[in-house]
Amino acid sequence: MSIKVKRSRAQPIARLLNKSGDIGQLMRQSRLIDQAQCHVRAHLPEEMRPHIFVGGFRDGRLTLISGQASWLTWLRFEQRRLLTLLHQLPGFEAVNGFTFKVRPVRPVEAPLRNTRHLSASAGKTLSECASDTHNPALRKALERLASHAPK
């Protein structure tokens, strides 16, 4: 059994993302959800902002997610105001309601930075090496590296 492979040229990623295909549509929807997230959070009370997330958009309904049902109860009372706010954004004129979901939400945490320390003797050795080097690019790189050591 043989499989014929269609040979095609590699395309720039920008062209793939801007096409009207599945990836382009997914990227547009992702941008719209991010825009809705920013807009909704900007109009919520300060204590609610870290607890409310926009989960998706389907069939004219925007999904709002929270880890606690009490926040969503408050949002149910504010549906009309939130719909009015969302209709101000281009692309959200078709939103006709919300779907509220209680889900455990883990906050996004930045990964820990792996910092390395350079000893003073290593910095001195790098500085001496830089002064003996004739290549200006290498000298500059060694001096920049040596500058991370304590004086």
Mean pLDDT of 113-132: 89
Query: Where residue 7 falls among pLDDT bands split at 50, 70, 90?
Result: low
Q: What is the dihedral of CA 36, 38, 43, 49, to 10 degrees?
A: 120
What domains lie within the chain, and their CATH numbers?
A: 16-102 (3.30.300.180), 117-150 (no CATH)
pLDDT of residue 127: 93
Is a pLDDT exceeding 60 seen at residue 143? yes
**Mean pLDDT estimate for the chain:** 85
Is a pLDDT exceeding 70 seen at residue 125? yes
Q: What is the DSSP annotation of 42-55? A: HTS-TTTGGGEEEE
Mean pLDDT of 49-69: 89
More confident residue, 25 or 80: 80
**Extended beta strands in the chain, E state:** 52-58, 61-66, 97-102
What are the structure tokens assigned to 46, written together?
Answer: 């300060």
Is a pLDDT exceeding 70 seen at residue 18? no
| Residues recorded for the chain | 151
pLDDT of residue 6: 64
Q: Using alpha carbons only, what angle is made at residue 33 by residues 32 and 37, rounded to the nearest 5 degrees? A: 120
Q: Which residue's structure tokens are 């009309």? A: 80
Is a pLDDT exceeding 90 seen at residue 12? no
